[in-house]
Structure 1
Amino acid sequence: MSSSPEWDLVYRPRKLPRYAIAAAVVVLAIHITFGLLLTVEDVGVRNLGGSDQAAIIGIGVLFAAAILLLTRPRLRVGPQGVEVRNLVPTRMFGWDEILGLTYPESGFGAWLLFPSDEHITVLAVQAGDGQRAVEAMARFRELEERYRGSVRPAN
């Protein structure tokens, strides 16, 4: 957890990015290895060539890049509201739009709650981070109480 002048809480998961980087490295290594081991031989219907090797390696690069999207999740909280970045989109919600942040009994990420029983998963706050995630939830609730004040969204 860290903070900046405009954000009181900036939280990123600790374990998820590490696992994502390790998985991306393994996937890329496997594709590079098989791409380089693919020899140019007659295999019956058609010959395999350099373009096939490049395609296998290229597919590995695309898979690894997709896996690395798991290094992006972030939660930021400040006077202007709550910003959630999951894999690609970054969304900002004002304090008057949300009901709070909760952790469901079954699930791997916290939920940002909205009126009408709607929610979005906050990938940054995960059970795998243990006490760090608990502290982030507590800090969120402190900031929510400070900034929300008497503003409550209509149900």
Structure 2
Amino acid sequence: MPEATPPPAAGLPELPVTWRASRTRAVLLPVAVLLVAVFCVLARAMPHNWHTNDRVALVVTGLLFAAGLLMLARPRATAGSEGVTVVNFVRTRRLDWAEIVRVNLRQGDPWAVLDLADGTTLAVVGIQPAAGRTQAVAAARALRDLVDAHATARHRR
């Protein structure tokens, strides 16, 4: 049976809410497009003695570099009524609220970290100070407050 959403408390964000490193995305997405464009122009501008497969290989190389940049722009965390979905560079993990014990973002950490009920941790790359310290701290606090609110609602039952 799905867990009931706690009543909205003062200061809690309205669900669903998504956090991502927006500055990082704002740089990486246009650079990826520009990279593909540059490789396409280079493929077209090469001397006539270049074969078609050489030109195609150049364009494919640009697309691969762009795909790498898009993968770096992928991380995010989405909190909904059922739990949190953490999307990192390659993996996506769905967590119920009960699985999250604590949200940490210490000075010098590259991103927020979730302490999980099974004793493991999970990086939340979508909340990273490198993309804006104030934004990352606010996001980590909001996620921590949501985790606490759901824990409190669970204990009241």
Following superposition, the deviation at residue 18 of structure 1 comes to 1.0
CA contact (8 A) 1:113 1:119 kept: yes
Secondary structure of the equivalent of 1:64?
helix
- Unpaired runs of 5+ residues, structure 1, are 42-47
Segments ≥4 residues shifted beyond 4 Å? none
In the alignment, is residue 131 of structure 1 matched against residue 134 of structure 2? yes
Q: What is the CA deviation profile of residues 103-123 of structure 1, one whole-angstrom value per residue up to 9, with x for unaligned ones?
A: 244442211222565322212
Following superposition, the deviation at residue 27 of structure 1 comes to 2.3
Following superposition, the deviation at residue 52 of structure 1 comes to 0.5
Secondary structure of the equivalent of 2:100?
coil
Secondary structure of the equivalent of 1:124?
coil
Give the TM-score normalised by structure 2. Answer: 0.75
Equivalent runs, 1:4-153 vs 2, <5 Å: 4=15, 7=16, 9-41=17-49, 48-115=50-117, 118-127=120-129, 128-149=131-152
Secondary structure of the equivalent of 2:103?
strand
Question: Cα RMSD between the aligned structures?
Answer: 2.5
Following superposition, the deviation at residue 19 of structure 1 comes to 1.6
Identity over aligned pairs, percent: 25
- 2: CA distance, partners of 1:29 / 1:70: 19
Q: What is the CA deviation profile of residues 60-88 of structure 1, one whole-angstrom value per residue up to 9, with x for unaligned ones?
A: 12221231123332212234222111234
The count of corresponding residues between Structure 1 and Structure 2 is: 142
Give the TM-score normalised by structure 1. Answer: 0.76
